[in-house]
Structure 1
């Protein structure tokens, strides 16, 4: 059995226990026993135990979102609607809301906050990239940072939403996306205002030096152009 399959087996076994014990060492040990995996091998595949399984669960949701987007008919849709649909697909890909709730608790801990932020950033990067974003300047960052805020707030709202079909969550999501579109419109008007161009010369120069990572594996850090 390949390592990927073993990790999947561990994750499936862990999900049975997450609702009761969270993404904890107890859950990890129970998953090892239930999956019949050698403890040394399980630890080699998941050095941080349940934390690595929680990240694997997040990655599974991302993969399912991409499958839903690939099967969707996006032609003719406004871009803001594509963004909202992608976030909705990402949430609808979740089979176990309690596993997400427990994950939010896990990644709220200071020692795991960076992992949580990176996971959310990766989701938003997948959304923008899949929908055809070609920006390589500072906009690469601002788009993903803004969507990360929208996605995170929507997840928190969704976790407490018991409305039929999560209708209130989708309405909340639409409002947040509309807010972002209004901000982008204001930014565009400011940039095009000739009276403000002298004031923006310095910030615009600095922004022009910022570039998206050349290696797509470098999800968070970018680079400054130092004459390369």
Structure 2
């Protein structure tokens, strides 16, 4: 697949290394199905897209994790383009999150093996920290697109939970042989339902807590009654 824009094939010679990484990432992922996330896949992708192989190697001198990070970034960007805030605003919050995660699953629907291999690399001890940051970043983008403006501890808990849901859903996805990945989407729906119920319960508890009289104040009044 040759990367292109409205005016025709992309001119790789005018791209920065960052831009080149993002442009080549989908083709590298496609090649990784057969070759894994390695230089063989990189060379195949560069040749397929018509990019200079030596420049492509320079762009990905960080190896497999650099390729995977570029690929995740390309999916993030595609998701933002497909689901801008104004489009998501028409949906309920649960539907917004589902639509965003579903888009990411659909984006890799035909490259299960590449996803499986990427997850194995990301799970390596030396890559775990970087992988967690990537998952957090994607979850942050999803919540921001969904309209989340929380700045307190909810900001962190929401992203941590969503990153966990997405990661778990991908694990189901790569082993799902059901028609249309039906089991994966059922799993995703159950996880999102669980989170929504938790959020409702938490909100109810928080509001109830605000309405309850302060125990300290109550005891204080017993000891020092107002006159």
TM tier, smaller: 0.7 to 0.9
Shift of 1:185: 2.0
Shift of 1:184: 1.4
Q: Which residue of 2 aligns with 1:91?
A: 105
Q: Which residue of 1 aligns with 2:77?
A: 63
Structure 1 residues 153 and 47: CA distance shift in structure 2, 3 A: same
Shift of 1:45: 2.2
Structure 1 residues 191 and 33: CA distance shift in structure 2, 3 A: same
Please, which moves more after superposition, 128-137 or 45-54? Answer: 45-54
Match of 1:77 among 79, 85, 91: 91
Shift of 1:48: 1.0
Matches of 1:98 and 1:141, distance apart in 2: 31
Shift of 1:53: 1.1
Matched, 1:183 2:198: yes
Shift of 1:44: 3.9
Shift of 1:109: 0.3
Match of 1:52 among 66, 70, 76: 66
Q: Which runs of 5+ in 1 are unaligned?
A: 200-228
Shift of 1:105: 0.6
Shift of 1:26: 4.8
Matches of 1:19 and 1:174, distance apart in 2: 28
Matches of 2:60 and 2:131, distance apart in 1: 16
Q: Which residue of 1 aligns with 2:167?
A: 152
Matches of 2:152 and 2:38, distance apart in 1: 40
Q: What is the TM-score of this pair, normalised by structure 2?
A: 0.74
RMSD: 2.8
Structure 1 residues 9 and 62: CA distance shift in structure 2, 3 A: closer
- State whether residues 26 and 74 of structure 2, in contact with CA within 8 Å, keep that contact through their aligned partners in structure 1: no
Structure 1 residues 190 and 47: CA distance shift in structure 2, 3 A: same
Matches of 2:213 and 2:192, distance apart in 1: 27
Structure 1 residues 11 and 185: CA distance shift in structure 2, 3 A: closer
Structure 1 residues 46 and 79: CA distance shift in structure 2, 3 A: same
Shift of 1:68: 2.3
Matched, 1:111 2:126: yes
Structure 1 residues 182 and 44: CA distance shift in structure 2, 3 A: same
Matches of 1:86 and 1:119, distance apart in 2: 16
Structure 1 residues 188 and 45: CA distance shift in structure 2, 3 A: same
Please, which moves more after superposition, 15-24 or 94-103? Answer: 15-24
